[in-house]
Amino acid sequence: MLIVQKYGGTSVGNPDRIKAVATRVVATVRQGHKVVVIVSAMSGETDKLIRYAGQVSSNPTEREMDLLLSSGERITTALTSMAISELGQKAIAFTGRQAGIITDAVYTKAKIERIDADKVNKALDNGYAVVIAGFQGVTEDDEITTLGRGGSDLSAVAVAAALNADLCEIYTDVDGVYTTDPNIVPEARKLEKISYEEMLELASLGAKVLQTRSVEFAMNYNVPVVVRSSFNNNPGTLVTKEDQDMEKVVVAGVAYDKNQAKLTVMHVPDKPGIAARLFNTIAEANIVVDVIVQNVSADGLSADISFTVPKTDSRRALELAQRLADDLGAKGVDVRDDLAKISIVGVGMRTHSGVAAQMFGTLSKHGVNIMAISTSEIKVSCLIEAKYTELAVRVLHEEFGLNKHN
């Protein structure tokens, strides 16, 4: 088999851990597999570099940010390759560029456009374990880019797709995907398998095991992904195509996201084109909008439009919304970042009714007020005050029968 193994920041957090990674890689090669390894930077490294940038510049250019941030993965790539060689297995390290990972030119959140895998394929054919720096690529014009936080997951899945790998293993510091955060609910269970769609919802809802875009990519290219721990040999969770077993379960998991800010543009004229203008402006700034609610005021002439964005984008979104509000003669823009989004996810919702009502009922029974709601076919999300996050997660996990003893 051809296996892509991705190791996250804690798995390569120091030289001893890198040696442990090398041991696992070599064991996999000795089982007769071809192995491509994707590594993250050592845990904390990317944050440290971002801090450094902030200490020398109030507004570092994104181009230089990417050059800076890509250095973390260079270090672990080279070290991992050395450690594998040390065990008597041929290994070679590649930067994103050397691995042929070509991206668009959106610095700090570039998208992979294609992978020219000749060099990697040749090395594999010549018996090398190939180690590739995650999180980075290069534009057609030779500019270094990064793929957004957590982007080495995407590197791994994209490389697996490009090489037509049999399996993409994501090694991390947890045993797999859980029904919810075990730090909040000790009764949370590890899932044996989960569908791409459920995983996508969970990832985008802030279950931090896999980067959202990597799941999207895996789903589009049908890459089988296993999330497992690099600290033991437990089997992990398989992320794969939906099957009939999965449909029987109404709710597969409960997720929360504290990284949301809610902006409200108050008293905008209630006429066609306003929402389009607002959200075009936000989209042009590459800011991803999540929940949207529009309320028409009692006089029927104006509306309040609320929407959520990642906290990291809230300042920029505020500037843009404020400018538009001024233009439109709206009353102003209000921001709140003391909110959290709680969600229940499951493909079984397609065939079961009353799930949303059950969720709202459970929250109300515990005095948790719902400030906005959004739904998809397989998800219900509620925006609530952040201080109720843990409570909400616990009672929903119990209500939908996800606790271990069930």
Residues 312-331 that bind Mg ion (CB under 5 A): none
Tokens matching residue 118? 């000749």
Residues 237-276 that bind ligand ASP (CB under 6 A): none
DSSP secondary structure code for residue 171 in this structure? E
Per DSSP, helices labelled H in 244-382 are 244-248, 274-284, 314-328, 355-365
72 or 346: whose CB is closer to ligand ASP? Answer: 72
Q: Is residue 72 a contact point for ligand ASP (CB under 6 A)?
A: yes
Rounded-to-integer distance, Cα 43 and Cα 366, Å: 38
Q: Is residue 137 a contact point for ligand ASP (CB under 6 A)?
A: no
The answer to whether the beta carbons of residues 146 and 135 sit under 8 Å apart is yes
Q: Is residue 40 a contact point for ligand ASP (CB under 6 A)?
A: yes
Residues 5-34 that bind ligand ASP (CB under 6 A): 9
- Residue from 5, 95, 152, 302 touching ligand ASP (CB under 6 A): that is 152
Task: Output phi, psi for 302, to 5 deg.
Answer: -130, 165
Rounded-to-integer distance, Cα 378 and Cα 364, Å: 22
Residue 219's alpha-carbon distances to 108, 161, 214, in angstroms, are 23, 10, 9
Q: Is residue 205 a contact point for ligand ASP (CB under 6 A)?
A: no
Contact string 8-47 vs Mg ion (x = CB under 5 A): x---------------------------------------
Rounded-to-integer distance, Cα 330 and Cα 267, Å: 5
Contact string 123-162 vs Mg ion (x = CB under 5 A): ---------------------------x------------
Least spacing, CB of residue 94 vs ligand ASP, in Å: 16
Q: Please tell me the count of residues contacting ligand ASP according to CB under 6 A.
A: 12
Least spacing, CB of residue 151 vs ligand ASP, in Å: 5
Q: Is residue 149 a contact point for ligand ASP (CB under 6 A)?
A: yes
Return all residues near 304 (Cβ < 8 A) that are at least 6 apart. Answer: 264, 265, 266, 267, 268, 294, 295, 297
Which option in ligand ASP, Mg ion, none does residue 134 bind, with CB closer than 5 to 8 A by kind? ligand ASP
Rounded-to-integer distance, Cα 2 and Cα 201, Å: 28
Query: In the complex, which residues of this chain contact ligand ASP (CB under 6 A)?
Result: 9, 40-41, 46, 72, 134-135, 149-153
